[in-house]
Chains A and B, each alone.
Chain A
Amino acid sequence: MDSEQNLPRTDVVLISMPFGPLPTPSIGLGLLKASLAPRGISSKTLYFSLRFAEEIGASLYALAAHSTATESLVGEWIFARALFGEAALDAEGYVRHVLSPPPTVNASRPPGGQPDHASRVRELVAARDKVERFLDQCLAEVLEHRPRIVGFTSVFLQHVASLALAKRLKARAPDTFILFGGANCEGIMGAEVIRQFPFVDAVVSGEGDLVFASLVERTLAGDNLSGLRGVFTQQDGARLFDPGGHPHAPSVSDMDALPVPDYDEFFEQWAASPLEGACRTTIQFETSRGCWWGQRHHCTFCGLNGASMQYRSKSAGRALGELLELTTRHPGRPVSVVDNILDLQYFKEFVPALAARQLDLQLFYEVKANLKKPQVRLLRDAGIRVIQPGIESFSDRVLEIMKKGERGLHNIQLLKWCKELGVDPVWNLLWGFPGEPPDDYRRMADLLPLLTHLAPPVSAMPLRLDRFSPNYERAEALGFVDVAPIPAYRYIYPFPRETVANLAYYFTYAYREPQDVRGYTRGVEAAVHAWRVACGDADLFSIDLGTVLMICDLRPARGDRLTSLTGLQRTLYAACDGAQSVNSLRALAADHLGPAAAAPDVESVLEPLLECGVMVRDRTSYLSLAVPVGEYAPSAASLARFHALLGQRGRQAPEMEGQRMTA
């Protein structure tokens, strides 16, 4: 008996490979680990993602793992040679055609690309040379645990690295049962993994929570896995490609029945890593699955919720208890809520309970953009200081095409309230929908300079076709043709086109009716870039002096200036803190002026405010753009500029009583 065989065996080793998210534990692995402990099944979670980040540096790792790398799939390509061998791949072609051209998916870059793009490309290419040694080390460490089952989580860009290690593991320890799960394994993608990679024993498609423990128990007992819905095995063979042959595992219906994820091993490994201090770790926390909006109207671009759109959420009490447990166990860390959309019912109990407890937490939530102002305030008070609202556009027509169920004016309204109430919105601007009106983008290019005092989009980019989205599933009906995997895939997987298409999640497309997207969105892209440059210094705020509303405009497009409003204009402007219809403004004006006055022409009253850019309107409603000072505090820099404006005007004012001032 050799020394390795004397070591205790670990039933299950769970692995997160590069380029999985770096500074946060995997909620999938945390949940699976927690589900095994009560059954007396031993497990170990290994974050090799950390180890590779140590090898190549946290900043290069972040670049390869970032969501914008979905265009180049560079994280996958770095490991492709280790999976398929040098000869099978056209590395030169990849570098020339995919990696070297500046990415097109983010308008935040300056025109011409990042200045250090070429050197970053060289670093990414060089990262491949560290892969073999890294995989050897990973293999040795896994084998130390003598696992009977090794499970890989594969989300975003960690598929190829996982396969490369799995291949080595099977070659070295053929009795080890290799299991894959995660978003990259859903449906046909998982079926193709089974067909192409014989060293993978099983794949779980969809939510693994309800089948994982049974799968592990049966495997440990040497039983077969037949009858486990959503679990694909090598024995399934060609049946997986029959109609209905690759079903999802059953979805969790009782969210309260899920265990609290176990993140201890991540934080132990993080604490032992030289990366500690390089960036701040976060905790992943889940309160719901599915999307309540998508159940009614599936946003056409959204490929999330492949397994189940059905919305399910934890009870408020359970959610609060779990949050307290996680943040007590891992204190001082921001909490990233992984939900696709915040449950509106949570405004009744969960969010107020969080606010009442004053826990000093920092939470991130994805939300629908139709929040009311009191709801934004409640989020702030609860410590939900960063949100990802589904804004996507300011064009009503484009929002309608994507079935967003919102209006552009409401999206601006939310950004304004976020600024006022101290909630940071992380949002995206998307374009390129079939049939979208080019004129709307010209109007948007004129609108954006008026919004530079608000948070700019983190990404501004052409539409991406994601698997499971209506745009992909019903491509032809929605106006797309020539749907194909993005070019990077063919440099990563040396397989026939159909196979690559089954493994892919991101797709390119053409339009059935040609449209010059690049041409008509150029102005918007330039305006977004200018916005990002300007946003640190730009401000637009109003000060309520009772009978006078003073507006200080510090946006670059308008030049620093003051505007004061009195009477009906002041009343209407203040009322348009939230979008107001012309009809409601007419009623308000009638109240303001009294029954004896003639009905005012509200649109004429507000026209000068549109002209000077402190208001915007759509076909039916008006919205004021200035952020009221009160809960919002302008920065010291803004106050200094405001004071300079006041001083300039005040010192020019007549010193002597009786001197007339001209308007």
Chain B
Amino acid sequence: MSHKAVEDIISRAVVDTEFREQLFSAPDKALAGNDLTPEERKALAEMSREKFDSSLGQLEELAVSGGIIAVHEGVSSPIPAPVPRFDWTKIGYAPSNTN
């Protein structure tokens, strides 16, 4: 299993917005010359733009604006964090330690 080329292409699409546009608008051109199996080429060409944008698309913008670093240092996530919860292990007593 080696999908290094796939990972490189997706990574480049994250950090290089021009390449990203080309990957989704003219995938054959964007992928030309890369060492891809037919299956990998098809997968990349048919990759969901919507899913890419919603999960990876904002990472670079956030990083460029300092967003990721800022939220990292502020110990919060750009994705809404779960509600803080009570730590039951800190109450000094566990109802039972076996069940």
Contacts and interface: CB of A to CB of B under 8 A. Distances in A.
Interface of A: 21-24, 58, 61-63, 65-68, 70, 156, 279-280, 282, 299, 301-304, 334, 336, 338, 340-341, 362, 364, 366, 385-386, 388, 390, 392, 422, 424, 426, 428, 430, 458-459, 464, 466, 543-548, 550, 562-567, 569-570, 608-609, 612, 629, 633-637, 639-640, 642-643, 645-654, 657-663
Nearest to B49: A546
20 contacts: A22-B92, A23-B92, A67-B96, A301-B98, A366-B96, A428-B97, A544-B55, A548-B10, A550-B10, A566-B39, A609-B1, A612-B1, A629-B55, A633-B81, A635-B77, A639-B72, A639-B78, A643-B60, A650-B12, A650-B14
A77 B30 CA distance: 75
Nearest to B34: A661
A652 B40 CA distance: 19
Nearest to B29: A657
B96 A304 contact: yes
A158 B12 CA distance: 63
B55 A545 contact: yes
A107 to B, nearest CB: 13
B89 to A, nearest CB: 5
Nearest to A340: B99
Chain A interface main SS type: mixed
Interface string B74-97: 111111111101101111111111
B11 A562 contact: yes
B43 A548 contact: yes
B39 to A, nearest CB: 4
A634 B63 contact: no
B78 A658 contact: no
Nearest to A62: B92
Given A336-B95, A651-B15, A362 B46 contact: no
B98 A466 contact: yes
A279 B92 contact: yes
B77 A639 contact: yes
A661 B5 contact: yes
Given A640-B72, A647-B63, A634 B77 contact: yes
Given A280-B86, A650-B11, A657-B29, 14 more contacts: A62-B92, A299-B99, A301-B98, A362-B86, A385-B83, A388-B99, A544-B55, A547-B44, A548-B43, A563-B7, A567-B39, A570-B43, A637-B75, A650-B13
Contact of B48 (A340, A547, A636, A652): A547
Contact of B35 (A282, A633, A663): A663
Which 8 residue pairs of A and B lie closest in terms of their CB atoms, listed nearest first? A62-B92, A546-B48, A608-B1, A650-B11, A649-B11, A633-B79, A566-B43, A650-B15
Contact of A548 (B6, B76, B80, B91): B6
Given A302-B99, A385-B85, A639-B59, A65 B92 contact: yes
Contacts of A68: 97
A633 B68 contact: no
A640 B40 CA distance: 27
Given A280-B86, A430-B98, A635-B77, A649 B92 contact: no
Contacts of A640: 63, 68-69, 72
Nearest to B15: A650
A428 B98 contact: yes
B83 to A, nearest CB: 8
A453 to B, nearest CB: 15
Given A426-B88, A548-B6, A660-B35, A67 B51 contact: no
Given A459-B97, A636-B77, A642-B59, A660 B12 contact: no
Given A304-B99, A547-B44, A663 B94 contact: no
Contacts of A424: 85, 88
B10 A661 contact: no
A282 B46 CA distance: 52
Contacts of B32: 657-658
Contact of B8 (A385, A544, A635, A650): A650
A70 B97 CA distance: 10
Residue in B10, B79, B80, B97 whose Cβ sees the most chain A Cβ within 10 Å: B97
A364 B11 CA distance: 41
A124 B89 CA distance: 21
Residue in A386, A546, A566, A647 whose Cβ sees the most chain B Cβ within 10 Å: A566
Contacts of A566: 3, 6, 39-40, 43-44
Contacts of B86: 280, 282, 334, 362, 386
A660 B32 CA distance: 9
Contact of A279 (B5, B42, B91): B91
Contacts of B47: 545-548
B16 interface: yes
Residue in A390, A466, A636, A659 whose Cβ sees the most chain B Cβ within 10 Å: A636
Contacts of A65: 92-93
A546 B51 CA distance: 7
A61 B91 CA distance: 11
Given A640-B68, A651-B15, A661 B29 contact: no
A660 B33 contact: yes
Contacts of B76: 636
Contacts of A340: 96, 99
Contacts of A565: 3
Contact of A564 (B3, B78, B88): B3
Given A543-B56, A657-B33, A660-B33, A636 B7 contact: no
B68 A643 contact: yes
Contacts of A304: 96, 98-99
Nearest to A364: B88
B72 A636 contact: yes
A422 B82 contact: yes
